[in-house]
C-alpha cells in the first residue's frame, strides 16, 4: 500500500537539506518541471529528483504518495499557472476564450509536462478552481445545467486535446520537428495539380497555416456554435447533443 502523505504542518518542521534548502511541495513540483524540460519524462525519477533537491529520494514520499501523485501535482500546477491573475469580466464568451487560451498556453510552455499530464484528472485545488470557473461562466450565462455540463465537457476536452497535440510536436527532437515542418514545403508544395489539384492550390497556405496551432480557430468555432445555440435555448428547450 502507498505510504500516507505527511501533513503539511509536520513537513514544515523538517530540517533543511544539506545545502540549506527547505523542501516544500511547490519546490518539488518546480524542480520536477525543470527536469522534465531538460531531460523529458524518462529523466524524471525519484533518484534524480532527490539529487536535484539535495535530498534523499525517500524524503519525496513525505510530500507525495509516489511519482504518479507527483505527476498529478505537476498537471495541477500548470493549471494554476494558467489561471494566475485571471478574473472574469462578465462576458461569458470572452471569458471562456481567455481561460481556454491561458490553459493551452501554459501546457505548450511546458511540452514534456503537458504530454505527461494533459490526459490526467488530479482533483487538486487548481483543477477544481478551473472547473468551477468554467461551469460558473456557463451557468451565469444562462445555460441549463445539462447543457452547461455538455459544453464544459466539449470545452475542456478540446482545450486539453489540442494542448497535448501541440505539446507532443514541441517535445519532439529538434531534427524530427524540423523534418515535419519542412514536409509541407518539400512534398506538399511540389505535388502537381494534375494529380492533387486541391492540395496544389492550397499548398502555399498549408505551408504557413499548418505550422501553427489550430486551437484558437477550433475554440472560436466551438464558442460561436455554442453562442448561437444559447440564443435558441428558450425556444428549443436545450442545446441538444
Closest residue by Cα to residue 200 from 211, 209, 188, 210: 188
Residues 73 and 239: their CA atoms lie apart, in Å, by: 35
Q: Residue 236: its pLDDT value, please? A: 52
Backbone angles phi, psi at 8, to 5 degrees: -55, -40
State residue 232's pLDDT score: 73
- pLDDT at residue 19 in the model: 61
With a cut of 70, which residues of the chain have pLDDT below it? 1-20, 233-241
pLDDT of residue 33: 95
pTM of this structure: 0.85
Helix (H), strand (E) at residue 198? helix 197-209
Residues 11-54 have pLDDT tens digits of 443 556 666 678 999 999 999 999 999 888 888 999 999 999 99
Q: How many CA atoms within 13 Å lie on the side-chain side of 118? A: 26
Per-residue confidence (pLDDT) for residue 13, from 0 to 100: 38
DSSP secondary structure code for residue 214 in this structure: S
Annotate the chain with three-state secondary structure. CCCCCCCHHHHHCCCCCCCCCCCCHHHHHHHHHHHHHHHCHHHCCHHHHHHHHCCCHHHHHHCCCCHHHHHHHHHHHHHHHHHCCCCCCCCHHHHHHHHHHHHHHHHHCCHHHHHHHCCCCCCCHHHHHHHHHHHHHHHHHCCCHHHHHHHHHHHHHHHHHHHHHHHHHHCCCHHHHHHHHHHHHHCHHHCCCCCCHHHHHHHHHHHHHCCCCCHHHHHHHHHHHHHHHHHCHHHHCCCCC
Amino acid at each position: 500500500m502507498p505510504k500516507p502523505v505527511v501533513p503539511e504542518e509536520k513537513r514544515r518542521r523538517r530540517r533543511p537539506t544539506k545545502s540549506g534548502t527547505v523542501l516544500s511541495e511547490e519546490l518539488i513540483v518546480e524542480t520536477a518541471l525543470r527536469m522534465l524540460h531538460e531531460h523529458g519524462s524518462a529523466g524524471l525519477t525519484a533518484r534524480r529528483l532527490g539529487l536535484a533537491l539535495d535530498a534523499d529520494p525517500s524524503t519525496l514520499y513525505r510530500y507525495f504518495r509516489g511519482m504518479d501523485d507527483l505527476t498529478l501535482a505537476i498537471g495541477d500546477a500548470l493549471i494554476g499557472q494558467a489561471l494566475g491573475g485571471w478574473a472574469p469580466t462578465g462576458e461569458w464568451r470572452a471569458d471562456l476564450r481567455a481561460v481556454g487560451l491561458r490553459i493551452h498556453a501554459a501546457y505548450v510552455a511546458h511540452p514534456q509536462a503537458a504530454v505527461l499530464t494533459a490526459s490526467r484528472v488530479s482533483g487538486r485545488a487548481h483543477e477544481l478552481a478551473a472547473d468551477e470557473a468554467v461551469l460558473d461562466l456557463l451557468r451565469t450565462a444562462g445555460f441549463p445545467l445539462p447543457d452547461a455540463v455538455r459544453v464544459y465537457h466539449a470545452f475542456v476536452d478540446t482545450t486539453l486535446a489540442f494542448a497535448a497535440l501541440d505539446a507532443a510536436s514541441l517535445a519532439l527532437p529538434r531534427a524530427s520537428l524540423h523534418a515535419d515542418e519542412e514536409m509541407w514545403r518539400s512534398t506538399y508544395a511540389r505535388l502537381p495539380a494534375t494529380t492533387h489539384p486541391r492540395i496544389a492550390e492550397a499548398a502555399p497556405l498549408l505551408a504557413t497555416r499548418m505550422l501553427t496551432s489550430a486551437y484558437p480557430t477550433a475554440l472560436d468555432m466551438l464558442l460561436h456554435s455554442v453562442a448561437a445555440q444559447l440564443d435558441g435555448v428558450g425556444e428549443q428547450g436545450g442545446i441538444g447533443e
